[in-house]
Amino acid sequence: MHICLGDNIYGFDSKDSAKSMDAAFAPAIAARIPWAAVLGNHDQEGTLSREGVMKHIVGLNHTLSQFNPSELHVIDGFGNYNLEVGGVKGSGFVNKSILNLYFLDSGDYSTVPAIPGYGWIKPSQQLWFQRTSAKLRRAYMSPPNAQKSSAPGLVYFHIPLPEVASFDSTNFTGVRQEGIGSASVNSGFFTTLVEAGDVKAVFTGHDHINDFCGQLTGIQLCYGGGFGYHAYGKAGWPRRARVVVASLEKTEEGGWGTVKSIKTWKRLDDKHLTAIDGEVLWSKKHTGKVE
């Protein structure tokens, strides 16, 4: 599955936002692979509103993106949704979600005059996340094949949380080459994630020449890595995409069970598609470098 972390187009330079998005997502569509997207702070700066951009995205082929939860009539932003990854067909987990993916709209810029800077994840979105996470945890721990702990969750949005600024070169994997472009206020969403207990990693975009992962209070906070050529980068520093792989455990009967580990690395856009910075984001046993 291919996931786009926002600023899918640089709207200000686009004379036709719909055509720009068609071009941006064309490789995934042509490959016929499932893909999903969230909005960044530049997507709506062209000929479509933020709402219009997300409506166009959900109408494209092979996308799993959704506009907003159908059960909620009032929620901030566009593109708040979750995807459930079911167990292997024929296994005891085929009717359970063994990996939960949460997507949120982190906004573009502050709409509060007294607060400058970028947007943030609002209370209505946090409440949706809390309720969705709780529902999924209950389903995972209910019969049949009841589990003692939650299925791991991964969260995707564009603007990094303020907590990302707490890392330095001693406690992350990757590079930090620019400031952390988070909101100027802390909405408390990191605390909400920690309280939920199922989230193992958060993936954001926004700062194009940062590509690191660091762990804080049991959650990995990761940049996707600067991938697109439609926005700024750094001379001599190859564009890159983050790969995330969830591996399943084998059951005693020789079948497939639940997720046992989540690993990540980055692929550089160079002659060899070089893989760098492999690490274990989460496992049932430990986290750390991939040996």
Q: What is the 3-state secondary structure (H, E, C) of 162-193?
A: HHHHHCCCCCCECCCCCCCCCCCCCCCHHHHH
State the average pLDDT over residues 265-274. Answer: 97
Residue 20 has pLDDT above 90, yes or no: yes
Inter-residue long-range contacts of 260-264, CB under 8 Å, 24+ positions, other chains counted: 260/284, 262/152, 262/154, 262/200, 262/201, 263/290, 264/201, 264/213, 264/222
Provide the CB-side half-sphere exposure for 130 (13 A, CA): 14
Which pLDDT score is estimated for 268?
A: 98
If we measure between CA atoms, which residue out of 17, 16, 72 comes closest to residue 39? 17
Least confident of 2-16, 182-196, 240-254: 2-16
Residue 240 has pLDDT above 50, yes or no: yes
State the average pLDDT over residues 256-284. Answer: 97
Which pLDDT score is estimated for 179?
A: 96
Residue 21 has pLDDT above 70, yes or no: yes
43-87 per-position pLDDT tens digit: 999 999 999 999 999 999 999 999 999 888 889 999 999 999 999
Q: What does the DSSP 8-state code read for residue 151?
A: P
Residue 291 has pLDDT above 70, yes or no: no
More confident residue, 252 or 153: 153
Which pLDDT score is estimated for 151?
A: 96
Determine what percent of the chain is predicted with pLDDT higher than 70: 97
State the average pLDDT over residues 190-199. Answer: 98
Q: What angle do CA 188, 190, 192 make, to 5 degrees?
A: 75
- C-alpha 187/C-alpha 119 separation (Å) is 10
Which pLDDT score is estimated for 13?
A: 74
Residue 290 has pLDDT above 60, yes or no: no
Predicted confidence band of residue 270 (pLDDT cuts 50, 70, 90):
very high
Number of helical H runs and strand E runs in the chain: 4, 12
106-147 per-position pLDDT tens digit: 999 999 999 999 999 999 999 999 999 999 999 999 988 888
Q: Domains in the chain and their CATH numbers? A: 66-239 (3.30.750.180)
Which pLDDT score is estimated for 286?
A: 60
> Cα-atom radius of gyration of the chain, to the nearest Å?
19
Determine what percent of the chain is predicted with pLDDT higher than 90: 83
- C-alpha 82/C-alpha 126 separation (Å) is 13
| Residue 276 near residue 268 (C-beta atoms within 8 A) | yes
Angle between helices 189-196 and 123-140 (to 10 degrees): 10
